[in-house]
Structure 1
Amino acid sequence: MDKFINKTKVRYTILLFLFLATVFNYADRATLSVVAPFMSKELGFDPEMMGLAFSSFGISYVIMQIPGGWLLDKYGSRLVYGVALIGWSVVTMFQGTIYLFAAPLMALIVLRLLMGAIEAPAFPANSRLSVQWFPNKERGFVTSVYQAAQYISLGIITPLMTIILYTWSWHYVFYYIGAIGIVLGVFWLMYVQDPFRHKRINQQEIDYIKEGGGEPLLGIKEEKQKYTFSQIKQVCVNRMMIGVYIGQFCVTSITWFFLTWFPTYLYQAKGMSILKVGLVASIPAIAGFAGGLIGGMFSDYLLRKGYSLTYARKLPIICGMLLSCVIVTANYSGSEVVVVAAMSIAFFAKGFGNLGWCVLSDTSPKEVLGVAGGVFNMCGNLASIVTPLVIGYILSTTQSFDYAILYVGSMGLIGLVSYVFIVGPLDRIKIRPVAIA
């Protein structure tokens, strides 16, 4: 490693941008969950209507995954991600104006659909940039950092949103969070670049990334190849990837409970004030952040110690999914302490095992990382449609969160079964390109 002693460390600045962009990616998604109790009361939305509003984001988000991945492969992560960040932040601001429309629910649904479509390339771009900027031995940590951003968003931005809500009104939550995202998007476009185009990186850092299994030259037009649908199908539809897709759906189901119905659960089912909701909601998020970082570092540690890629990635995932089932204990206690502890342990476990994107980076062909990431994210985020609708239906039918919590807890068990019995050994998929004439 001596020959890399003078390498630059631009990749860590890129990681900071990935982290911040993902924080506000999730903050914009979570705005509606924070304001839901007040918005629904003011505008007359019942639980099923709110469930539809929550899930509308996921509908367009899922539909646009493959087109979003194609845009990344064609135009690169820097441009697509930066423009998307500004775009979805503008849409977030407009959600604060729905009370001005004759049909506010329809306006909200349209805006959530638009936001979901614009956000679609974000996580495939995170995965693509991690392959471009980091060697294999650092990628578990990198994935855990940008995955952990969702917990920081919930843990820090959610209390900020409740303070804005308490001080002014629900409209201003959308205005302020959206405005911050626009500013961040401008800075992204000013600084973020591919490794071979970045002015501050030196050749030693590029060599370090490349020799460690990264792809710093990904995106050079001369190296691009043409791939047919049948070849892309080989990447996306095989036993290993199907198992990974199922696991990601389960992990994302847990995430979307916290992103949508969790504040309402604390406010209505547990009778907490809105300010207390902001504080309490941050506790599981902080636990999830810790779990995410520890899980990624633990996976990389196993890899450095000589364990196989399969063992190093799957062990944290399986353990995390098993432990996440503890969320169901919240149904059997009226104690706020027990409920928050159960939620925190479950979210810690979910973070610890949230290495799906890392698995994707380790197994997908570099030539179609955008499309592969789009398919992966599409399958995982079917949960963003299903989870809000299922919970909304359960609440309307039973007037209780008990079965909703049971549904969320069952996702950990299903994900565990998928990784144990379906995924099998992890290995990079290879396809044969058709050279452009």
Structure 2
Amino acid sequence: MSETKKIGNYRYRILGLLMFATTINYFDRSIIGVMAPTLEKMFGWTNSDYANIMVSFKIAYALGLLYMGGLIDRLGTKKGYTLSIAIWSIFGMLHALVRPGFSVIGFAAARFGLGFGEAGNFPAAIKTTAEWFPKKDRAFATGLFNAATSIGAIAAPFVVGWIVHEDGKNWQIPFLITGALSAIWVFLWFRMYKKPEVHPKVSKEELAYIQGDSEVENEEKLPWKSVLDKRQTWAFALAKVTDAVWWFYLFWGAKFLATTFDVNIKNIALPFFVIYILADGGSIFGGYLSGALMRKGWTVNKARKITLLICALIILPVSFVAVTENKWIAILLIGLAAAGHQAWSANIFTLVSDVFPKKATASVVGIGGMVGAVAGILADIALGSVLDQAGNSGYFWAFLIAGSCYLIILGLVHLLMPKMVPLDENLVPIKERT
């Protein structure tokens, strides 16, 4: 009786590096949200000042996604990912140089550079996942590295609470930590990463498994503009509008808990831990669920969209957060919504590699991310203005929109892309080829 050969698992080492990079990304991104109530008191910011600093990040993130996606497709994931993390690490550390006399403009400038660099993370990570995993495993792989966003968001309040005093003393130190972490990542990435088809540590069996449900592509580059007229591009971009909701939790969550329930920098860690550990579970389960449905014989189209519908229904109760007077009910509702969002996110990212060839993946992810960033910019401007004029009642509308928008967006995505017909390396629907 012949023994079944082991496939090999080097792809999971690459996935581990994606998780490490995404953890650094979100730790860097989350620090300012955790310290927002303290920094506001130190520097005398209004809600609109804080909103403008967040808008600076998102403008750069939107521009960066538009540029970085195409750049990563041209340079490849190895060089493109390294460039991205180098940019965001430098500007992350530059936050520590900001002085009170120019705090708003200083933080806005540092956030702008941070946003431009961080824009490369998800296009590069999704492209890497498409290169290293078969379609049936991509949502689960994406769910795992996407769960690292919550690891970074969980780490931020614990590190900040441990290092930073309530009066703001030592506030610069958390911004400097990611420099050392990024240097370690770059070393490991250059040492370990090559495409699977040329990697000496990938067995023939593992390569066959990776490429088992994907067509072999040629090396010809696709121009960035070639994906702009595809309905599938804009279906993904529309689904990414929900990024504005995730950023609302990330950047305004600590402020909401501080002004509504008197949560401060020293006791924010436990609420954030609960919220983001639930988000982690949602990311992993959401990625697993659609893959499990596909293994039961469901089509990619049905498995992805039914999973997205479940996510939208799980998120809906967060609409009532602003009317509850119980802190822990509010925290649990936000955590449940964060879990639903991360499950949603794992699946919509995978829509891109389900439909588009690998060589176009980063470009499409970049365009969709840009649309999500613009939605976040508009949300920040509106919320900052409403909170300054109407006080905490503005959070009622923010949570109502955050809870209800996913069902509406899913309906529109289905109208744009009723069937997820994959496109070949020339962006021609495979079923239409002669």
**1:298 pairs with 2:289:** yes
Distance in 2 between residues matched to 1:335 and 1:231, nearest whole Å: 51
Distance change (3 Å), C-alpha of 1:227 and 1:15 = closer
14-23 or 348-357: bigger deviation: 348-357
1:276 is paired with a residue whose SS is coil
Please report the TM-score for the alignment, with normalisation by the length of structure 1: 0.90
Report SS of the residue matched to 1:396.
helix
Structure 1 residue 67, shift from structure 2 partner: 1.9
Distance across 2 between alignment mates of 1:356 and 1:381: 16
What residue is the counterpart of 1:198 in the other structure? 199
Counterpart contact for 2:34–2:156, Cα < 8 Å:
no
Match of 1:381 in 2: 373
SS of residue in 1 equivalent to 2:82: helix
Q: Which residue of 2 aligns with 1:142?
A: 141
Structure 1 residue 294: deviation in Å? 0.8
Distance 1:280 1:171 in 2: 23
Inter-partner Cα distance in structure 2 for 1:266 and 1:283: 13
1:116 and 1:3 map into 2 onto residues whose CA distance is: 51
CA distance in 2, matches of 1:13, 1:30: 26
- Tell me, in whole angstroms, the C-alpha distance in 1 between the residues paired with 2:77 and 2:44: 41
1:68-125 deviations in whole A, cap 9, x for unaligned? Answer: 122112211112112321321121111011016x422112111111111112221111
* Structure 2 partner of 1:397: 389
RMSD: 2.3
Deviation at 1:433, TM superposition (A): 7.6
Q: Take 1:150 and 1:13, find their aligned partners in 2: how far apart are those partners?
A: 18
Q: Choose which of 423, 426, 434 in structure 1 pairs with 2:420.
A: 426
Match of 1:231 in 2: 226
Distance of 2:368 and 2:94 partners within structure 1: 30
> Once the 2 structures are TM-superposed, how far is the Cα of residue 155 of structure 1 from its aligned partner?
2.4
CA contact (8 A) 1:290 1:348 kept: yes
For 1:146, the aligned partner's letter is: F
Distance of aligned partners of 1:3 and 1:23 in 2 relative to their CA distance in 1, 3 Å threshold: farther
Q: Is the 8 A contact 1:225 1:433 kept in 2?
A: no
When residues 31 and 3 of structure 1 are mapped into structure 2, their CA distance, relative to the original with a 3 A threshold, is farther
1:276-425 matches, cutoff 5 A: 276-354=267-345, 355-400=347-392, 401-425=395-419
Residues 47-72 of structure 1: CA deviation (Å, up to 9, x unaligned): 10100101211101111223212211
Give the deviation of 1:336 after TM superposition. 1.1
Structure 2 Cα separation of the partners of residues 404 and 231 of structure 1: 36
- Conserved in 1, the CA contact under 8 Å of 2:142 and 2:287? yes
Question: Higher mean Cα deviation, 204-213 or 405-414?
Answer: 405-414
Whether the 8 Å contact between 1:248 and 1:415 is mirrored in structure 2 is no
Report if the CA contact (8 A) 1:289-1:348 is conserved.
yes
Offset, 1:337: 2.0
Note closer, same or farther for the CA distance 1:229–1:61 as it changes in structure 2 (3 Å cut).
closer
Distance in 2, matches of 1:328 and 1:152, equals 25
> Segments of 4+ in structure 1 off by > 6 A?
none
Query: Where in structure 2 are the equivalents of 1:2-401 lying within 5 Å?
Result: 5-99=5-99, 102-166=101-165, 168-213=169-214, 223-227=218-222, 231-235=226-230, 238=231, 240-250=232-242, 252-354=243-345, 355-400=347-392, 401=395
Contact 1:256 1:387 in 2 (8 A): no
d(CA) in 2 for partners of 1:140 and 1:286?
19
1-structure distance, mates of 2:326, 2:411: 31
Q: Which runs of no fewer than 5 residues in structure 2 stay unpaired?
A: 429-434
Letter of the 2:147 partner, please give it: A
Instruction: Report the Cα distance in structure 1 between the residues aligned to 2:331 and 2:325, rounded to whole angstroms.
Output: 11
Deviation at 1:410, TM superposition (A): 3.4
Partner secondary structure for residue 166 of structure 1: coil
* Segment of structure 1 superposing worse, 192-201 or 314-323: 192-201
Give the partner amino acid of 1:140. A
CA contact (8 A) 1:72 1:80 kept: yes
TM-score, normalised to structure 2's length?
A: 0.91
Distance 2:121 2:177 in 1: 21
Residue 230 of structure 1: how far off its partner (Å)? 6.1
Distance 1:188 1:432 in 2: 30
How far off is 1:326 after superposition?
A: 1.0
User: 1:273 and 1:370, CA in 2 relative to 1: closer, same or farther beyond 3 A?
Assistant: closer
C-alpha contact 1:90 1:182 (8 A) present in aligned 2: no
| TM superposition shift of 1:3 | 9.3
Corresponding letter in the other structure for 1:139: R
CA contact (8 A) 1:38 1:170 kept: no
The range that moved more, 165-174 or 374-383, is 165-174
| Higher mean C-alpha displacement, 286-295 vs 102-111 | 102-111
Equivalent-residue separation in structure 2 for 1:228 and 1:72 (angstroms): 12
Residues 360-416 of structure 1: CA deviation (Å, up to 9, x unaligned): 110112332222221122122223322322221221121112222223223334323
Equivalenced residues, count: 422
**What is the rounded CA distance, in whole Å, between the counterparts of 2:343 and 2:206 in structure 1?**
29
The answer to whether the Cα contact below 8 Å between 1:93 and 1:179 also exists between their aligned partners in 2 is no
Report SS of the residue matched to 1:429.
Answer: coil
- The CA distance in 2 between the partners of 1:23 and 1:84, in whole Å, is 14
Q: Equivalent pairs: percent with the same residue?
A: 23
Structure 2 counterpart SS, 1:353: helix
